Structure 1
Amino acid sequence: MLRSFLVSLVVLALAGGAYFLFSPQGRQLVDRVTINWDRAEYKALHRAGKPLPGTPDLSRLAARLDRAGVEPGLPVHLRIYKLESEIELWVQKDGRFQRFATYPICMWSGRLGPKLKEGDRQAPEGFYTVDKDALNPNSRMHLSFNLGFPNVYDQSRGRTGSFLMVHGGCASIGCYAVTDGVVDEIWAFVTKALDNGQDRIPVHAFPFRMSERNMRLRSGDQWSGFWADLKKGHDLFETSGVPPKVSVCEGRYVFEPGSLATVASAVEEHCPPEIAGNS
């Protein structure tokens, strides 16, 4: 009798644990554990002077450029994925953008979800642009460029914050720290594209890889609606190979298919008569 009772308790405990892990709170816990594990590993490697997992061979840039058939000075686009701690560099080739490199992000602060206010230590999520005024070659974090938070979407929601950067090193209070070597390579592409006539570099920051599975796992999260809007812009790029034209309409991100002429467009208040990707 006692044995049956104990077995029942164990089964109930396991069932309760499984239920919790599939709840919004459980998913948040799993994500936080994953994020903190990666942060600890990356910080230890950085302190030891070792490259982070997934770092391209930065010493062989010329060979990598030759293999990809691209060069600094062509238009570029950056995509950030928080949960995976990755930043992608896309370069225009033959009328589309192709991924040239994926770099690990050594450190970003906060949790999944957008930045809301000054001092919350959250790294931003959303659609941003970088122009020449955003560049800081004299950064105390080696090199940095400002993402332009708050943009018009953030402002429409009353969000505050300043100096949210992509920079070198491995420390963050709201920025994306990618190590000195990685920021050197990204910087070369960004600055040469700007010097060569690209007015703004689109930088799109997502909470995670925007797969249907990842969205489904987090469907109960308080930010699921916001992330669903981000996914629309994300998927337009996946389909066309060109960053979408991003606007803000009635406090929401809206998107139109991009073209090579709109790659450098600023994010502005605008309600298109037909909003592609937002049905």
Structure 2
Amino acid sequence: MIGSLATVGLTAAFLAPAGVVGHAVWQHYAPWDLTPPRTLSAKVDRIVIDKGLRTMAVYRDGQIRKRYSIALGFAPDGDKLQQGDGKTPEGIYRIDRRNAQSSYHLSLGIDYPRAEDRAEAAEKGVSPGGDIFIHGQPNSVADNMMIPGDWTAGCVALTNAEIQELFKYTPVGTEVEIRP
């Protein structure tokens, strides 16, 4: 009896700190926000895309207003280097156009390639590609459906309902940060 109480006591002494550390790590790195989703109601001024977590957060005045789950290019690891590589670029960009007649419901154009992207591709003797967008699903897909997995040619995809909301509140010039 004493031996089993000692074992329980020692086990608790070793596991308690691990539980505290584990909880702290979980709270810091958990990729989802457990608060109810908000509906956007004002223009956004910044978009942050986290490729590793497959999330996109939209900001207004430094505060997150909404977070979305996203799909990326079909080969998402690493920075976009050339046309056809299936990668989503990484860096700081801007929304430079809006397309209400997109084949992917609605789309917000990202100003890729920048001068440095073109120079890097030229150094390698390849085309940097272009036409990178935040967009919805193909027009044949229902508003709240999402094609599973990473399937775009390098773009960032949302559901059609989500791109409708984002399109309404995202002006040309909005900063877009794409993180690895």
TM tier, smaller? 0.5 to 0.7
Letter in 1 for 2:42: P
How far apart, in 2, do the equivalents of 1:55 and 1:111 lie? Answer: 26
Q: What is the alpha-carbon distance in structure 1 between the residues aligned to residue 129 and residue 73 of structure 2?
A: 15
Q: RMSD over aligned Cα, in angstroms?
A: 2.3
Determine which of 50, 68, 78 is the counterpart of 1:81: 50
Q: Would the aligned equivalents of 1:82 and 1:108 in 2 still touch at CA under 8 Å?
A: no
Identity of aligned residues (%): 26
The amino acid that maps onto 2:79 is: P
Q: List alignment gaps of at least 5 residues for structure 1.
A: 1-52, 66-70, 195-199, 208-279
The alignment status of 1:190 with 2:179, answered yes or no, reads no
CA contact (8 A) 1:56 1:101 kept: no
In structure 2, the partner of 1:117 is: 82
Question: TM-score of the superposition, structure 2-length normalised?
Answer: 0.65
Deviations 1:76-118 (A, max 9, x none): 10000011000010012xxxx1111111003432132110111
Match of 1:157, SS state, is: helix
* Equivalent pair of 2:71/2:152 in contact (CA under 8 Å): no
Choose which of 191, 194, 201 in structure 1 pairs with 2:174: 201
Distance 1:189 1:174 in 2: 23
Q: Which runs of 4+ in 1 moved over 6 A?
A: 53-58
Matched residues in 2 for 1:55 and 1:109: separation? 28
More contact order relative to length (CA 8 Å, sep ≥ 6): 2
Match of 1:172 among 130, 152, 162: 152
Match of 1:90 in 2: 59
Q: Cα 1:188–1:113, aligned 2, differ >3 Å: closer, same or farther?
A: same
Opposite residue 153 of structure 1, the aligned amino acid is E
